[in-house]
Structures are given as C-alpha cells and as structure tokens.
C-alpha cells in the first residue's frame, strides 16, 4: 500500500493507460480524482476504483481550458481536502505528417494540449501539492528516443513536455514537490491490439505474428501492459522515490536504453 490514504489527481483518463493509472493508484491505497472530457468513461473507471475499496471523484475537464482545469482542482480539494499526487496523462497526437508539410495550426494545437494544458493543471495544483510534499508525474513517450519520419510534431510536443518536467523539478524542488517523467514505448492495450489486427490483415499474417515481430525488438521479448507502466508511476508518486526528482523513467521492456 505505497499510496495509503493519499489523494492522486489523474488527467486524461481514457481506456488505456489512464484507466490503468486509476486502478493501480487505488490498489496502492489512494483515493483518486479522474479528469477527462468523456463523462461516461470516467464513470466506468470510477466504478472499478470503488470495487477496489477506494473513493473516486470524476470531473468533466478539458486541460486546454482554464475554467475547466480550475474546476478539477477545486473538486479535488472540496472532495478530499488534500492532493498528494498529480499524473498528467492527457495527450493529443498531432498529425503524423512530415514537418516539411505538416499544418502548423495542428502542431500548435498539439503543444497546447500536451505542454500548455499540462502546465496549466500543474500550476493550479501546486499550492495543494506543496502542502504535502507532493509528487507530479508526466506521461511522456518513447518518441523521445527516436526521430522517425512523420513523428516530428509529436516529438516536438513530448520533448517540450520533458523540458517542462525538468524545469518544474528545479522550480518546485525547494518547496518539496518532486516532478518526474515516465516514458512508455508500446502499451499492450486496446488501441495497439486494434492496430496490430489492422496490420496483420493488411499483410495477410496473424496478429500474433505482428506481436512477436514487435516484441523481438525488446530485451524482454514482450510489450508492457498498462498496469506495468502504471506501477512505475505509483513508485514515483510514493515515498520510495522521495529522493528522485527531475528524472525520466523509460518503461518499455528494454526497447530503448536510456
């Protein structure tokens, strides 16, 4: 119970890692505040959290909107009176188009969500986090580790998010607040399963073959599941990581070394 009776706010709770984060934080003893724009999905995850014996508050929130973020921060404090952890999971993938031709407004929109939205929510929760030597975790991506074609705009956004995490670690460290990053590679959840099925059909092979070929590029010969990524986040939120700040932990079964 690494997070017993702590309160963790999670932005961008979707069916993949967001759900895993909520459930692993709850399993570690935390109550959670779940934010995203789709209320029905939040309600489903909250039900699962309740099934683990912890409380979940859901707030319809868009991190690109100041009033909406303020509502999320206020709901957390009104419901639980404290915030110990913040996981910035919400993200937007800009168009996967070469930088030579990508629409600049779309690149700007990607930065707005991934970077400025994350900063907005983190700033609003900083006073509460400061009261309890809180911990912030940014969810980044293995796009940090490569420069493959068409990923340029996404890499720009996630690289800026890493810079944000490191600079905030320096700014907030004297107040006792830690800021770290977790960078997953592949996450073996519904989106990727759907994509591998799609690739398999296109190539006339089985989805298992696509999985095996991809897994062969990792040291552990498999792809991480959402709970395995979430557990790394739980560690960074917990007192076990009390001397860790400004760091990026890659969780990718050894696909990239960092």
- Which amino acids are annotated catalytic? 154
The helix (run of H) or strand (run of E) holding residue 183 is: strand 178-184
Looking at residue 115, what DSSP letter applies? I
In Å, how far are 6, 208, 224 from 215, measured between CA atoms?
36, 10, 10
The answer to whether residues 32 and 207 touch, using CB atoms and an 8 Å cutoff, is: no
Of the candidates 14, 94, 110, 152, which one interacts with ligand NAP according to CB under 6 A? 14
Other Cβ atoms closer than 10 A to 196: 21
Report helix, strand or coil for 40: helix
Stretch that binds ligand NAP, among 134-142, 164-172, 204-212, 234-242 (CB under 6 A): 134-142
Of the candidates 44, 55, 70, 92, which one interacts with ligand NAP according to CB under 6 A? 92
Residue among 83 and 189 whose Cβ is closer to ligand NAP: 189
Stretch that binds ligand NAP, among 129-137, 168-176, 185-193, 243-251 (CB under 6 A): 185-193
The answer to whether residues 23 and 230 touch, using CB atoms and an 8 Å cutoff, is: yes
Of the candidates 2, 27, 36, 75, which one interacts with ligand NAP according to CB under 6 A? 36
Residue among 117 and 134 whose Cβ is closer to ligand NAP: 117
Of the candidates 11, 58, 118, 181, which one interacts with ligand NAP according to CB under 6 A? 11
Residue among 116 and 130 whose Cβ is closer to ligand NAP: 116
Total number of residues that touch ligand NAP (CB under 6 A): 30
In angstroms, what is the minimal distance from the CB of 61 to ligand NAP? 6
In angstroms, what is the minimal distance from the CB of 228 to ligand NAP? 12
Question: Applying CB under 6 A, does 62 fall inside the site for ligand NAP?
Answer: yes
Residue 180 burial by Cβ neighbours in a 10 Å radius (0-12, 13-18, 19+):
buried
Q: Of 64, 65, 70, 72, nearest to 42 (Cα)?
A: 72
Question: Applying CB under 6 A, does 258 fall inside the site for ligand NAP?
Answer: no
224: left (phi over 0), alpha (psi -120 to 50) or beta: beta
Question: Applying CB under 6 A, does 63 fall inside the site for ligand NAP?
Answer: yes
Of the candidates 18, 94, 134, 152, which one interacts with ligand NAP according to CB under 6 A? 18
The answer to whether residues 186 and 143 touch, using CB atoms and an 8 Å cutoff, is: no
Question: Applying CB under 6 A, does 192 fall inside the site for ligand NAP?
Answer: yes
């Amino acid at each position: 119970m690494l997070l017993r009776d702590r309160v963790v706010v999670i932005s961008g709770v979707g069916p993949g890692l967001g759900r895993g984060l909520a459930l692993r934080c709850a399993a570690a003893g935390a109550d959670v505040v779940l934010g995203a724009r789709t209320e029905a999905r939040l309600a489903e995850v909250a039900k699962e959290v309740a099934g683990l014996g912890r409380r979940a508050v859901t707030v319809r929130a868009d991190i690109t909107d100041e009033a909406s973020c303020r509502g999320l921060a206020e709901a957390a404090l009104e419901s639980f009176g404290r915030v110990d952890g913040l996981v910035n999971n919400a993200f937007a993938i800009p168009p996967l188009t070469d930088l030579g031709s990508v629409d600049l407004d779309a690149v700007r929109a990607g930065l707005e969500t991934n970077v400025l939205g994350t900063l907005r929510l983190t700033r609003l929760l900083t006073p509460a986090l400061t009261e309890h030597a809180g911990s912030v975790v940014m969810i980044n991506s293995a796009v940090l580790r490569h420069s493959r074609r068409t990923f340029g705009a996404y890499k720009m956004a996630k690289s800026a998010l890493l810079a944000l995490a490191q600079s905030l670690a320096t700014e907030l460290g004297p107040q006792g607040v830690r800021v770290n990053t977790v960078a997953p590679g592949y996450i073996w959840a519904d989106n990727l399963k759907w994509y591998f099925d799609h690739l398999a059909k296109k190539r006339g092979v089985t989805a298992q073959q696509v999985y095996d070929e991809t897994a062969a590029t990792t040291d552990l010969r498999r792809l991480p599941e959402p709970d395995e990524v979430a557990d790394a986040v739980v560690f960074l939120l917990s007192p076990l990581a009390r001397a860790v700040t400004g760091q990026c932990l890659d969780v990718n079964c050894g696909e990239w070394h960092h």
